[in-house]
Structure 1
Amino acid sequence: MKFHFHLRPYEVPFKQEFLTSRTATVLRRGLFVIAESEDGIRGAGEIAPLEHFSDESLETAKAAAEALSRRLDNTDVPRDISRLTSFLEECVDGSLPPSVIFGFETAVSDAISRSKGMPLAQLVDPGFTRQVPVNAVMSGYTDSIDRHNLAGFTAVKIKVGAASVDEDILRIQAARDALGGDVSIRIDANRAWDFESAAFALSQMRDLRIEYVEEPLQESELSRFDELFSGCAVPIALDETVRDRDMFQRLIKLDAVTTVVIKPTVLGGIARSRELIDHAHKFGKKAVVTSTLETGIGIAACLHLAASLGERVLPCGFDTLRYLTDSLIEESLIISDGRMAIPEAPGLGVTLRPGPAQ
């Protein structure tokens, strides 16, 4: 199947500063990839490396995307999503930034699944589901449980590490009091704590029924996960570590690690992410698919990856479009009763709003 490719840059403001332990973000920037087949079928993907989190900058991704777009134009592209990543990298005689693979893979897969009249999730796995549970997200320290309608949500993710440890402890305790016992709490430290801070914080939270803590330790102390777990009994989830193949293979074997967080933008696309999920499952670990603050196109792609897991899907981190002033798609990806449904239309099921091509 042959395609013509176009790139379209975008900028979308956040409604207010999006705070993590690393930075405050006010503007989401990226590129859309539009793939148009000889039959006029169009697919869209999103290239949006996240500043201070992704390995590549947007400028690096843009240069790689422009080169790949020229190389791929009017070239036969595999219809099998499992072959797309290697094909894309072969086209440029080397590796590509993960966000670029994700964007081009999504655009091509969107068009192919549209041509077949099926959702993209079905292209990934015939055993897909149409309903994906979603966890609510509390970001920043002005974001509180009582501001959210949590009806139907079974999990809430809370960012920690940007304030003092004592403030984090009080915030998680308050969240548990507000939520009661039926909603699980996931906390995300983004490697903000040293061992002593993490050990103290998590020991104070051990009775709060924390589902897991994402990346509680600074990079230099990752080897102490088991030691940390033995002292606090709070399970650990891998996020940033998943990108480091050698470290990931070491840590996924630990009893302390129960969960792997999957972000297609930083891991190199849908097929690669699905491989990592299947690998985690072989070790008896859970996998949670999460956005990287993309617009509607990127969120829809992540949604289809999660839906491809069928009955194995867990509450995913897709409650992030509400932080942006605009999703840049025609349709709405609505969370209802704690779930997000894949659209009825084929492909991604969403349409990129018209804009200038590059």
Structure 2
Amino acid sequence: MKYQLAITNYNYPFRQPLKTSHGEWKIREGIIISLKDAEGNISYGEIAPLPNFGSETLKQAQKFCSQYSQGITETEINQIPEQFPACQFAFESALAGFSAAKINEDHLQLSCLLPPGKDALKQWQIGWEKGHQTFKWKIGVFSLQEELSWFEQLLNLLPDSTQIRLDANAGLTLAEAKQWLTLADACGKVEFLEQPLPPQQFPMMLELATTFSTPLALDESVGTLRQLETCYENGWRGIFVVKCAIAGSPRYLQQLCEQYFLDLVFSSAMETSIGRQAALQLAMKLSSRRALGFGVDHWF
């Protein structure tokens, strides 16, 4: 069967720029695709690339889609090259969407993304009032001493039942990472420290993972599933943060989960509700035991 393909570009501004060690992110751009079958049924998918994490660019995704103006088959969808991971996710998700049931998010355990810096000291309450028990805080954005001070204040504010994830976005030095991990070990409220060092410093992260009790998670190092598999083969047995929208083929991810015992955290790539639904369906299918990193509604 050949599916009729339609694409629509989008760009949505954040309510406030999302600041990370990579800089400011002001607008989310992507593509909504729709597949129409012979009976007129329509299913949607989302291409939400993040080139900094190893996906194709928006222009490359647009060029890829243009090849199928006359329609695309299931075989062609399953043969999308891995250099187009965001396209793989979008097309496979749209195909699965013809039979997938909508996920009700009301009872899902989500991690709430806090703003970086001292703004988190006030805005954590927004997430708490929505029922979030897990919070994610970006570090490596301001000076180390400022962030350490704010973090200690945040620890005093957060209820005892909560835990926090620290996300450095590969923005720390080895010495800074050790300082954060020393404090994290002492306070006992940090679920994990995410990507403290750049991907090219993978051996140092392996060493850190065996030196401190606070778990480490890979993010930028495993933007795509091929990168994830490589890190596993090179000895990583810690946490993997998976941004489904840019990781690649959902079928391939399921194969990896069947082949290896992976400790996964499913996380948002700041996609729209279309990509979010597809990512949550995949997370539920693969039975992640950790809070899902999709507590980001307040950013839009």
| TM more than 0.5 | yes
Q: Does 1:134 align with 2:98?
A: no
Report the CA distance shift for 1:141/1:279 in structure 2 as closer, same or farther (over 3 A): farther
SS of 2:116's equivalent in the other structure is coil
**Cα drift, residue 197 of structure 1:** 1.4
**Cα drift, residue 176 of structure 1:** 1.6
**Cα drift, residue 64 of structure 1:** 1.3
Q: Does 1:150 align with 2:134?
A: no
Report the CA distance shift for 1:264/1:292 in structure 2 as closer, same or farther (over 3 A): same
Normalising by structure 2, what TM-score? 0.88
Higher helix share: 2
Amino acid at match of 2:93: T
Deviations, residues 22-67 of structure 1 (Å, cap 9, x unaligned): 0201111111110011111110011011253343211111111222
8 Å Cα contact 1:64/1:96 also seen in 2: no
Report the CA distance shift for 1:274/1:154 in structure 2 as closer, same or farther (over 3 A): farther
- Determine which of 275, 295, 298 is the counterpart of 1:319: 295
Instruction: Specify every segment of 5 or more residues in structure 2 that has no aligned partner in the other structure, as ranges.
Output: none
8 Å Cα contact 1:130/1:307 also seen in 2: no
Report the CA distance shift for 1:129/1:149 in structure 2 as closer, same or farther (over 3 A): closer
Normalising by structure 1, what TM-score? 0.74
**Cα drift, residue 89 of structure 1:** 5.4
Moved more, 193-202 or 134-143: 134-143
* TM alignment of 1:1-358, pairs within 5 A: 1-67=1-67, 69-70=68-69, 73=71, 75=73, 77=74, 87-88=76-77, 90=79, 94-111=81-98, 113=99, 118-119=100-101, 131-141=107-117, 143-147=119-123, 148-151=126-129, 152-209=131-188, 210-242=190-222, 243=224, 244=227, 245-253=229-237, 257=238, 259-280=239-260, 282=261, 285-310=262-287, 312-324=288-300
Report the CA distance shift for 1:38/1:142 in structure 2 as closer, same or farther (over 3 A): farther
May I ask how many residue pairs the two structures share in their alignment? Answer: 292
Instruction: Specify every segment of 5 or more residues in structure 1 that has no aligned partner in the other structure, as ranges.
Output: 79-86, 122-127, 325-358
Report the CA distance shift for 1:276/1:22 in structure 2 as closer, same or farther (over 3 A): farther
Deviations, residues 155-201 of structure 1 (Å, cap 9, x unaligned): 11111111112122222222221113211111111111121111122
8 Å Cα contact 2:82/2:248 also seen in 1: no
SS of 2:128's equivalent in the other structure is coil
Moved more, 167-176 or 4-13: 167-176
